[in-house]
């Protein structure tokens, strides 16, 4: 069962999301919060697999909350949901390490598949957002050009991450276990001095590894 926390200041939106998720027997909405402060309070006491997070909320917005959550609970997946198709929000969200960014106009099937992709180690970015964000990331990369040699296997995995493949997809393509893929990713991030999968994907794109 996938445990979901919905963080959204509008009750009607929370109820709609809960209804969509709980139509699928794989999901259970274990909690609801109206802002980032309540979300962090909830995570201090209960286990959660995925946080669906709005951006504009009182007391603590979604970007600040996501940053604090990723610092304290790095294994919790965060999928940003917003009505605002603004690349600045998306850039800020990706820089703090969220696992996906969807517009609230996305349908239920897209929401479900995006959550599953995040849980499988992938990233879910709405097409309209990606079209604006990727050029900005390439114009102003956070990662400097560095000369560090990866093993052939690590190079292949880096390329696949850049292509948006999940850990499960990489494992299947390379005939590896998911655990082995995760271990390789840990080594790659350490070698390149990168923080997370998002930075690795940007690195792969910037250095023409695709």
Instruction: Say if pTM beats, i.e. exceeds, 0.85.
Output: no
Tokens 């696992």 -> residue: 99
Tokens 């946080």 -> residue: 51
129 sits in which H/E element:
helix 127-139
Give 59-95 pLDDT, tens digit per residue.
888 888 888 898 888 888 888 887 766 666 677 777 7
Distances (CA, A) of 143 to 41, 132, 140: 34, 19, 9
| CB burial of residue 148 (10 Å; 0-12, 13-18, 19+) | exposed
Q: What is the rounded CA–CA span in Å between residue 71 and residue 79?
A: 16
What's the confidence (pLDDT) of residue 17? 87
DSSP state of 193: T
CB-side exposure of 10: number of CA atoms within 13 Å?
Answer: 11
What's the confidence (pLDDT) of residue 145? 46
Q: How confident is the model at residue 43 (pLDDT cuts 50, 70, 90)?
A: very high
Q: Looking at residues 32-55, what average pLDDT do you find? A: 89
| CB burial of residue 9 (10 Å; 0-12, 13-18, 19+) | middle
């Amino acid at each position: 069962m996938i445990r979901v926390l919905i963080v959204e200041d509008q009750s009607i939106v929370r109820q709609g999301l809960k209804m969509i998720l709980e139509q699928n027997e794989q999901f259970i909405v274990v909690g609801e919060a109206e802002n980032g402060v309540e979300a962090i309070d909830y995570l201090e006491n209960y286990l959660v697999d995925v946080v669906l997070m709005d951006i504009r909320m009182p007391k603590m917005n979604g970007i600040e909350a996501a940053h604090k959550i990723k610092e304290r609970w790095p294994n919790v997946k965060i999928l940003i949901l917003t009505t605002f198709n603004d690349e600045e929000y998306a850039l800020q969200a990706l820089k703090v390490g969220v696992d996906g960014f969807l517009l609230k106009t996305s349908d239920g099937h897209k929401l479900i598949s995006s959550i599953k992709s995040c849980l499988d180690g992938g990233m879910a970015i709405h097409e309209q957002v990606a079209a604006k964000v990727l050029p900005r990331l390439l114009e102003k990369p956070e990662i400097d050009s560095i000369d560090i040699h990866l093993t052939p296997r690590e190079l292949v995995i880096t390329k696949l991450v850049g292509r948006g493949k999940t850990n499960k997809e990489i494992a299947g393509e390379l005939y590896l276990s998911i655990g082995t893929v995760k271990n390789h990713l840990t080594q790659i991030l350490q070698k390149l001095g990168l923080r997370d999968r998002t930075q690795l994907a940007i690195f792969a794109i910037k250095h023409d590894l695709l």
